[in-house]
C-alpha cells in the first residue's frame, strides 16, 4: 500500500472515534461519517420520556483501555469515568452479596467461599494477564506470519509459561476451552456467587453457563477489571463518546453526523471511498468500517465483490443478539430490603444461581424470551441526579434472554409481555416498584438492529465464542483489521478483541493501518 492520505471512517461509535483520533494524530486526513444524529453509537446517551436521560445501550464503562486514555490525553479533554462500582447480586431473602474485583462479602457467606473467591479471581486475572500480548495487537496469523505475529506469539508463550508458571498454565489449558458451569462448581459452594459469575460469563451472548467456551467469554469480560474497576460515567456513556469526539476533532478529524453511508465503493478490488444515502460520493484512500462485519461486507460492499466462501463465512457468522435494553423513569428510588442508597448505585444483578441463568437461557434456544430473565440493573441517577427531574430516578436494565429471532417475531404484545416480566421480577425485590414507574422504554435486539444498525442487535457485533475470536474474528481472512478489499479496514467490535467500550479494536485497527501504510 502506498502512503495513504485520506481516510473515511464509517460510523462514529467509540471505536471509530478512537481510530479517527490515532489516524488524525498521525497526520492523515480523517472524516468520520455517522448515520445517527449523535456520535457514540452503542455508547451514547439518549432521551426518553420527558426530561429523562440514560445510556442508550452500553451503560457501564468496563473499561476504556488505559493506553487509549493516556495516548489520546482523554483525561485532559474532560473524560470522567465516574466512581468505581461493585456488583451486588440480589437475593430474595435480603442476603445480598457484594462482589468486588478481589473480594466478596455477604452476611451468610462461609469463610471457604470468601477465600475461594479471592483465589479464583486472582487466578483468573492472572490468565487474563497472560493473554494480554494478544489484546493490544493484531491477532497473529498461524500461516504466513509476519515478524510482528511471531513476536506476539512468542510473548504469549512466554507469558503463559513463565508469567503464569507451570501449575497455573496447566490449569489454564485445562479450563480455557470448557464451560464456566463445571469450573464454578469445582470452586464454590454458594449458589449466589456462582450465579453472579456465570451471568458475567454469558452476558451479551447466546450462551448459558453450560455452553462450551464460556470460560473464555468470562476471561474476555474480566479483562475490564484488569485495568481498574467498572464505572458509571456521569452524563451517561454519551459523555465518554463526546470526549472521544472532541479529542478527535482537536486532532483534526472531521465528524459528520446524520450522514448515512449507502455503499463502500470498490473498483478492481480496491476501495475508492463511499457513497452516501444522499447520493454524494466521497473518495478516500482508506475506508475504515466501525460497522459490524455483516453490515460492512454484505450491505456496504456487497457479496459479489468478494470471494464466495469468504462472503459465506461472514454470512454464517453468529450475530443474533439476546439482550433487551429497558429504560424506566421512576418517581423515586426503589426500595430493596437491605440495600442503602449507596448500594443501589452499584451494578445490581439478578442471577441468583447458575441453574437460574441456564434456565433463563433455555428459552432463548427455542426462540422464546426468558420466563425469569437475568437482569443487570443500574440506577445512574444516583451518581448523576441531572439525568432526570429532582427526586426522580432513571433505571437502566439489560435483560437476558430476549432472543433476536423470537418465534413469532417481536410484536408489540411480546414487548409488553417481556417488559411486564422484567418489572414483576424487579418488583419481587423492590416493594411497590410498579407504582414508581412513570415511563418505560424497551429495545429488543430487533429494535437495536434498526436504531443502531448493529446486525442482530448483538452486543459484541457477533458472538465471542472461541471460533469467532482472536485470529478468527470476525472470520479468518479479515482478522487483522485489513480485509480482502484493498484499503478497507475493520475497527469495530466485530474485530479482535471484540465488544465492550474498550477502544481496543479502534486502537489496534489504527496501528495496523499505519504500519501497512508505511510499508
Nearer to another protein, 187 or 303 (CB): 303
Residue number, 48 or 310, with CB nearest to another protein: 310
Is residue 145 at the binding interface for another protein, with CB under 8 A as the rule? Answer: no
- Residue 484 CB, shortest distance to another protein, in Å, is 6
Q: Residue 82: helix, strand or coil by DSSP? A: coil
Interface residue with another protein among 86, 146, 227, 305 (CB under 8 A) is 305
Cell 448515520 found at: 35
Residue 72 in grid coordinates: 489520546
Note whether 298 binds another protein by CB under 8 A.
yes
Site string for another protein, 426-465 (x = CB under 8 A): ----------------------------------------
Residues 208-267, interacting with another protein (CB under 8 A): 266
Beta bridge partners of 442: 326
The stretch among 210-218, 226-234, 274-282, 295-303 that binds another protein (CB under 8 A) is: 295-303
Residue 141 binding another protein, by CB under 8 A:
no
Distances, alpha carbon 240 to alpha carbons 81, 251, 409, in Å: 7, 17, 34
The span of 216-224, 241-249, 252-260, 311-319 binding another protein (CB under 8 A) equals 311-319
Is 29:273 a contact under the CB 8 Å cutoff?
no
Candidate list 94, 165, 269, 332; residue touching another protein; CB under 8 A: 269
Residue 307 found at the interface with another protein (CB under 8 A): yes
Minimum distance, C-beta of residue 308 to another protein, in the bound complex (Å): 4
**Residue among 303 and 437 whose Cβ is closer to another protein:** 303
Shortest Å, Cβ 263 to another protein: 13
- Residue 310 binds another protein (CB under 8 A): yes
User: Is the Cβ of residue 246 or residue 315 nearer to another protein in the bound state?
Assistant: 315
Kindly state the number of chain residues that form the binding site for another protein, as judged by CB under 8 A: 17
Kindly state the helix (H) or strand (E) to which residue 33 belongs, with its residue range: strand 29-33
Residue 146 contacts another protein per CB under 8 A: no
**If you compute the radius of gyration of the chain from its CA atoms, what whole number of angstroms results?**
22
- Work out the end-to-end distance of the chain between its first and last CA atoms, rounded to an integer number of angstroms: 7
| Span of 13-21, 239-247, 304-312, 347-355 interacting with another protein by CB under 8 A | 304-312
Residues 467-486 that bind another protein (CB under 8 A): 477, 484
Helix, strand, coil shares of the chain as percentages rounded to 5?
40, 20, 40
Query: What is the layout of strands, in order, in the sheet containing 286-289?
Result: 254-256, 29-33, 6-10, 286-289, 488-490
Selected from 312, 365, 407, 431, the binder of another protein by CB under 8 A is 312
Q: In whole angstroms, what is the distance from residue 174 CA to residue 183 CA? A: 10
Query: How big is the CA angle at 41 (ends 383 and 507), to the nearest 5 degrees?
Result: 95
Task: Output 268 or 340, the one with its CB closest to another protein.
Answer: 268
Residue 432's region, left for phi above 0, alpha for psi from -120 to 50, else beta, is: left
Q: Based on CB atoms, which residue is closest to another protein, 166 or 304?
A: 304
Beta bridge partners of 263: 275
* Residue choice 304, 341, 342, 390 for contact with another protein (CB under 8 A): 304
CA angle 175, 179, 183 (to 5 degrees): 60
Is residue 374 within 8 Å of residue 199, measured between CB atoms? yes
| Among candidate residues 392, 372, 391, 406, the one with its CA nearest the CA of residue 327 | 392
| Nearest in space to 443 (alpha carbons), one of 475, 470, 404 | 404
By CB under 8 A, is residue 308 in contact with another protein? yes
For residues 360 to 399, the per-residue mask of contacts with another protein, x marking binding by CB under 8 A and - elsewhere, is ----------------------------------------
- Give the torsion sign (CA, 57, 489, 306, 304): positive
Which residue in the set 1, 187, 276, 303 belongs to the binding site for another protein (CB under 8 A)? Answer: 303
- At its nearest, how many Å lie between another protein and the CB of residue 305? 5
The DSSP bridge pattern shows strands 45-48 and 261-267 to be: unpaired
Residues 154, 133: Cα–Cα separation, whole Å = 9
Q: Give the footprint of another protein on residues 484-503 (CB under 8 A).
A: 484
Under the rule (CB under 8 A), what is the footprint of another protein? 266, 269, 298, 302-312, 315, 477, 484
Amino acid at each position: 500500500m502506498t502512503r495513504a492520505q485520506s481516510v473515511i471512517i464509517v460510523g462514529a461509535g467509540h471505536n471509530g472515534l478512537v481510530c479517527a483520533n490515532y489516524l488524525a494524530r498521525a497526520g492523515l486526513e480523517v472524516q468520520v461519517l455517522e448515520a445517527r444524529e449523535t456520535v457514540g453509537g452503542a455508547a451514547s446517551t439518549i432521551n426518553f420520556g420527558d426530561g429523562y436521560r440514560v445510556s442508550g445501550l452500553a451503560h457501564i464503562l468496563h473499561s476504556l483501555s488505559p493506553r487509549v486514555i493516556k495516548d489520546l490525553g482523554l483525561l485532559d479533554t474532560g473524560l470522567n469515568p465516574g466512581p468505581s462500582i461493585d456488583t451486588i447480586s440480589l437475593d430474595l431473602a435480603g442476603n445480598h452479596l457484594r462482589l468486588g474485583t478481589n473480594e466478596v462479602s455477604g452476611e451468610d457467606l462461609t469463610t471457604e467461599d470468601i477465600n475461594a473467591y479471592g483465589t479464583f479471581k486472582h487466578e483468573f486475572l492472572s490468565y487474563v494477564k497472560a493473554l494480554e500480548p494478544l489484546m493490544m495487537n493484531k491477532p497473529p496469523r498461524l500461516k504466513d506470519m509476519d515478524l510482528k505475529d511471531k513476536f506476539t506469539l512468542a510473548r504469549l508463550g512466554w507469558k503463559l509459561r513463565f508469567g503464569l508458571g507451570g501449575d497455573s498454565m496447566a490449569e489454564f489449558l485445562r479450563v480455557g476451552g470448557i464451560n464456566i458451569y463445571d469450573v464454578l462448581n469445582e470452586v464454590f459452594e454458594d449458589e449466589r456467587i456462582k450465579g453472579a459469575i456465570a451471568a458475567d460469563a454469558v452476558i451479551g451472548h447466546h450462551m448459558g453457563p453450560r455452553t462450551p467456551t464460556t470460560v473464555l467469554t468470562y476471561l474476555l469480560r474480566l479483562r475490564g477489571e484488569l485495568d481498574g474497576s467498572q464505572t458509571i460515567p456521569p452524563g451517561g456513556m454519551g459523555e465518554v463518546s463526546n470526549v472521544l469526539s472532541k479529542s478527535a476533532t482537536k486532532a483534526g478529524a472531521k465528524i459528520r453526523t446524520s450522514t448515512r453511508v449507502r455503499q463502500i465503493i470498490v473498483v478492481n478490488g480496491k476501495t475508492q471511498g463511499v457513497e452516501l444515502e444522499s447520493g454524494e460520493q466521497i473518495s478516500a484512500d482508506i475506508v475504515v468500517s466501525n460497522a459490524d462485519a455483516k453490515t460492512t461486507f454484505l450491505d456496504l460492499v456487497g457479496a459479489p465483490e468478494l470471494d464466495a466462501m469468504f462472503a459465506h463465512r461472514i454470512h454464517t457468522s453468529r450475530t443474533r443478539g439476546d439482550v433487551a435494553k429497558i429504560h424506566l423513569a421512576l418517581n423515586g428510588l426503589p426500595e430493596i430490603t437491605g440495600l442503602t442508597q449507596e448500594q443501589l448505585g452499584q451494578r445490581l444483578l439478578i442471577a441468583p444461581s447458575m441453574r437460574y441463568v441456564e434456565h433463563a437461557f433455555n428459552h432463548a434456544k427455542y426462540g422464546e424470551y426468558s420466563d425469569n430473565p437475568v437482569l443487570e440493573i443500574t440506577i445512574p441517577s444516583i451518581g448523576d441526579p441531572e439525568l432526570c427531574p429532582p427526586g426522580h430516578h432513571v433505571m437502566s436494565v439489560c435483560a437476558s434472554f430476549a432472543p433476536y429471532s423470537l418465534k413469532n417475531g417481536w410484536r408489540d404484545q411480546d414487548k409488553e409481555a417481556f417488559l411486564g416480566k422484567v418489572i414483576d421480577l424487579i418488583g419481587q425485590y423492590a416493594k411497590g416498584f410498579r407504582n414508581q414507574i412513570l415511563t418505560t422504554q424497551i429495545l429488543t435486539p430487533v429494535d437495536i438492529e434498526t436504531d443502531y444498525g448493529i446486525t442482530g442487535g448483538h452486543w459484541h457485533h457477533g458472538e465471542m465464542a472461541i471460533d469467532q475470536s482472536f485470529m478468527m474474528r470476525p472470520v479468518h481472512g479479515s482478522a487483522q483489521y485489513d480485509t480482502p478489499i484493498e484499503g478497507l479496514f475493520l475497527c469495530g467490535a466485530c474485530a479482535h478483541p471484540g465488544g465492550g467500550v474498550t477502544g481496543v479494536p479502534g486502537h489496534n485497527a489504527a496501528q495496523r493501518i499505519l504500519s501497512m501504510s508505511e510499508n
